[in-house]
């Protein structure tokens, strides 16, 4: 099975711009979660989508948004970029089957640099 | 509040020595606890979870609810164990993971 893929792998943007990141989960996985990783704050949960619905949301401003398509692929969008948004954005997918089977499989990440 | 604390940012041990990576948590309710590992130039991957009670690559971790700890242990470290280790928790069956800051483990030859 192919792993979680994320595109693009690297992005450079300037302050005020917006950006869209894409994540393709493992085939059959219906849950997609997004995380932001920075040296200062570590790994922080952004949001989770399941069956095209946002099920859970972390403590991030409304500039961060996401969506999930019927094929379970997900995108996240960051509008009005700030310097502090520079980070590695990780996507993880999960089968979400029976209770306890919620292992998350991570993608390689998208490295966003805001200048 | 949900929180995971890994007190050691860096840990260095010699090959063959025992390893213990500490993890403490705070959570109101019954959490699920995990250890994730990231080897150099590889993705973050699950090492083990408290529910499965497995030993993976010689590592074990026991959930101590009284001390709210989930320390990761290995009796004899190997050079290939050098990596970044993250302790994480979630609600039972939930997808939201709360991570600790990570411990960089270096195994010296």
Any idea where the domains of chain B sit in the sequence?
3-102
What's the pLDDT tens digit per position in B38-81? 999 999 999 998 888 788 899 999 899 899 999 999 999 999 99
> What DSSP state is assigned to residue B81?
G
What's the pLDDT tens digit per position in A64-105? 999 999 999 999 999 999 999 999 999 999 987 555 567 899
Q: Is A57 exposed, middle or buried (0-12, 13-18, 19+ CB in 10 A)?
A: middle
Which of A45, A103, A106 is opposite residue B96, by nearest beta carbon? A45
A65 contacts chain B (CB < 8 A) = no
A3 contacts chain B (CB < 8 A) = yes
Q: How is domain B3-102 classified at the architecture level of CATH?
A: Sandwich (2.60)
Cβ neighbours of residue B69 closer than 8 Å, sequence gap 6 or more: B22, B23, B24, B25, B63
A54 contacts chain B (CB < 8 A) = no
């Amino acid at each position: 099975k192919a792993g979680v893929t994320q595109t693009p792998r690297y992005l450079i943007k300037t302050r005020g711009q917006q950006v869209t990141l894409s994540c393709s989960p493992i085939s059959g996985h219906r849950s997609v979660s997004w995380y932001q990783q920075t040296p200062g704050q570590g790994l922080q949960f952004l949001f989770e989508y399941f069956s095209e619905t946002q099920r859970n949301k972390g403590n991030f401003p409304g500039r961060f948004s996401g969506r999930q398509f019927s094929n379970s692929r997900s995108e996240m969008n960051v509008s009005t970029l700030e310097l502090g948004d520079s980070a590695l954005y990780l996507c993880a997918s999960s089968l979400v089957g029976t209770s306890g089977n919620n292992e998350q499989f991570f993608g390689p990440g998208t490295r966003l640099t805001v200048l | 509040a949900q929180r995971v604390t890994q007190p050691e940012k860096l840990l260095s041990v010699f090959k063959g020595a025992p390893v213990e990576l500490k993890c403490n948590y705070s959570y109101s309710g019954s959490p699920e606890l995990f250890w994730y590992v990231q080897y150099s130039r590889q993705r973050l991957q699950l090492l083990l979870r408290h529910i499965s009670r497995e030993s993976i690559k010689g590592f074990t971790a026991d959930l101590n609810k009284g001390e709210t700890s989930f320390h990761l242990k290995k009796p004899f470290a190997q050079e290939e164990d050098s990596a970044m280790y993250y302790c994480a928790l979630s609600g039972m069956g939930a997808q939201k993971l709360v991570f600790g800051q990570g411990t960089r483990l270096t195994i010296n030859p």
